[in-house]
Structure 1
């Protein structure tokens, strides 16, 4: 993989021309994070004010969490990224690999779920992994809304179900939750594999990791039920498309979006400043409104009209938080098994 191939020629030249005292004089801050509607929100609501306040140019490089982690690995010893925004699983890996520096200025009223050891990262939004369904088609067919992870096995959804693969956090959460419902755990997901292979596969139209293709399959009417995150579903619903999010009765899984400043010589203090901006109460409410993220600040009052799908209050309290220290060690093994047994 070529190191950070998405940097523009201008950006590379700017990096090369930086003086030795980068922390005081750096004029470009490189931020790698999610694409799609999240990228639009960051570009519209965060970057312009941050650039103006700090006299800096922010270059945003979009990619999913595993792609961003791969960039960090490819650039080891010569990091060009200043801030990464990724899912909690890859973030734990980034910390373990030594890529993350300490976040300065972490708020005192942060939820415990949003804290990382030694403040090497910080949660910026709380998402639930559950079910998305097309409310219009369900109503037309007289189907009751889904309520359980077991609904993924219902044959009336044959070739109408979409699930991300397990190299995507949403798909991995589905595997884990089905395993837990059947006597398994993070250490033993055999039951989840068996259910996917024998009972869910007949319903699957696609194991689709791309958010854009996920929405296309719903817009075309090919898919009517999916495993997805509350933030993604809220963003899709904000476009006017008839979808809703379901917290399965057995529990939804916690997905924490997180940010960290990258550890490197002469790192810019603006990296922590950018992360602090993501934790600003105003931006937390923007992320809730535009993207369905549950706020990570305990003191933040949420207007009733916001957060219809987000994990807030009682919904947040009932979320299951996976043990990533176990899952990250198993993930490569599970992915090979998934490709061999399930997604063939």
Structure 2
């Protein structure tokens, strides 16, 4: 029986018998060939409780979920080899996807199997040139405490030019992709481009002492340890909805972002199901669910941000053109040097 016919049989059985049909060993074995990835904590809970059930209801496929981080996925793929991937559809940051793509672990997308790809904003497709699609975008602007800043920032340059922000700035460290983006951003604003790293490092020295974190900026903002930082709009929304006096703005020079790139692994044993899952994530239902849970900007042009979410999800439509393009190959090729120089300025 072909994969296509097996998949159609599964859909028909689910339609007739409901979710309990997945308990049939032969059917479950077929479904379990699809292995997808996400992160732990609230990500895992959302995938298990909401996203996977919605996908299964539409497709009849019940995926296996693997929990990890980009570094772990990279190690696991290399250990397994290109002919025996442990994942079918891999979600990870583009900084990791760039490396794995160059090493041959992904296939170029068969766009005939991803009809929703045609409805994506350019920011979701242009970095990978048809090899992947960004399924989640968490815009990063300037977050600040409204009760600690007398004048709202409007520009990234305010982090240097506004004296009341000195000594009250938070930054993600160089191990986080947001730290690397901030270095490239500084190089772009004050130098000849994002690759003018000498100028970037020189300007970073002018910031003086900063609070650094590798992951969680919210605690320092909530306690008032910092007054301003590059901040995920979704996280600012969560803090504001908890009653904290915080806001986030789109700087005039453009936005950083945390991306989650979805890749189809080469030689995947569940290739068609992997494409079904990717198409679902990129489609209106998947994007709406992700937006409501994480306050991410929908990457599908057909998805409108409802009025009650527009304050929490302010980056959509025309604003999706304000993301800056990054050079992850440059960052990866100089990772050790960049870490050393960053730590010389700010400390490890």
Q: State the TM bucket, normalised to the shorter chain.
A: 0.7 to 0.9
In structure 1, the residue matched to 2:134 is 123
Runs of 4+ in structure 1 deviating by more than 6 angstroms, as ranges, are: 21-24
In structure 2, the residue matched to 1:105 is 114
The equivalent position to 1:283 in structure 2, one of 281, 286, 294, is: 286
> Does the aligned pair in 1 maintain the 2:141–2:249 contact within 8 Å?
yes
SS at match of 1:305: helix
- Residues of 2 paired with 1:265 and 1:314: CA distance? 36
> Does the aligned pair in 2 maintain the 1:31–1:60 contact within 8 Å?
yes
Are the structure 2 counterparts of residues 332 and 311 from structure 1 closer, same or farther at C-alpha, using a change threshold of 3 Å?
farther
In structure 2, the residue matched to 1:12 is none
- Residues of 2 paired with 1:186 and 1:74: CA distance? 34
Residues 1:177 and 2:190 aligned together:
no
> Does the aligned pair in 2 maintain the 1:26–1:268 contact within 8 Å?
no
In structure 2, the residue matched to 1:210 is 215
Residues 1:25 and 2:30 aligned together:
yes
Matches within 5 A, 1:155-234: 155-196=163-204, 198-202=205-209, 204-205=210-211, 207-211=212-216, 214-234=217-237
- How far apart are residue 258 of structure 1 and its match? 1.5
The equivalent position to 2:323 in structure 1, one of 319, 322, 325, is: 319
- How far apart are residue 114 of structure 1 and its match? 1.5
- How far apart are residue 194 of structure 1 and its match? 1.4
SS at match of 1:56: coil
Residues 1:73 and 2:73 aligned together:
no
Unaligned runs of at least 5 residues, structure 2: 1-24
SS at match of 2:343: helix
In structure 2, the residue matched to 1:150 is 157
- Residues of 2 paired with 1:311 and 1:320: CA distance? 14
Residues 1:273 and 2:273 aligned together:
no
Are the structure 2 counterparts of residues 184 and 69 from structure 1 closer, same or farther at C-alpha, using a change threshold of 3 Å?
farther
- Residues of 1 paired with 2:71 and 2:287: CA distance? 24
> Does the aligned pair in 1 maintain the 2:85–2:267 contact within 8 Å?
yes
The equivalent position to 2:52 in structure 1, one of 34, 47, 55, is: 47
Root-mean-square deviation (Å) = 3.1
- Residues of 2 paired with 1:75 and 1:339: CA distance? 34
- Residues of 1 paired with 2:234 and 2:76: CA distance? 25
In structure 1, the residue matched to 2:246 is 243
> Does the aligned pair in 2 maintain the 1:106–1:119 contact within 8 Å?
no
TM-score calculated relative to the size of structure 2: 0.78
- How far apart are residue 254 of structure 1 and its match? 4.6
- Residues of 2 paired with 1:324 and 1:182: CA distance? 20
User: Residue deviations 1:169-201, cap 9 Å, x none?
Assistant: 2111111111111123232211221122x2223
Are the structure 2 counterparts of residues 105 and 26 from structure 1 closer, same or farther at C-alpha, using a change threshold of 3 Å?
same
Q: Which has the larger radius of gyration?
A: 2
User: Residue deviations 1:311-333, cap 9 Å, x none?
Assistant: 21332223322233444433443
Are the structure 2 counterparts of residues 22 and 86 from structure 1 closer, same or farther at C-alpha, using a change threshold of 3 Å?
farther
Residues 1:334 and 2:344 aligned together:
no
Unaligned runs of at least 5 residues, structure 1: 1-18
User: Which range moves more in the overlay, 51-60 or 104-113?
Assistant: 51-60
- How far apart are residue 164 of structure 1 and its match? 0.9
Number of residue-to-residue matches in the alignment: 315
In structure 1, the residue matched to 2:264 is 261
> Does the aligned pair in 2 maintain the 1:235–1:291 contact within 8 Å?
no
User: Residue deviations 1:47-90, cap 9 Å, x none?
Assistant: 12334543424324043x44433443344344322322222232
- How far apart are residue 124 of structure 1 and its match? 1.0
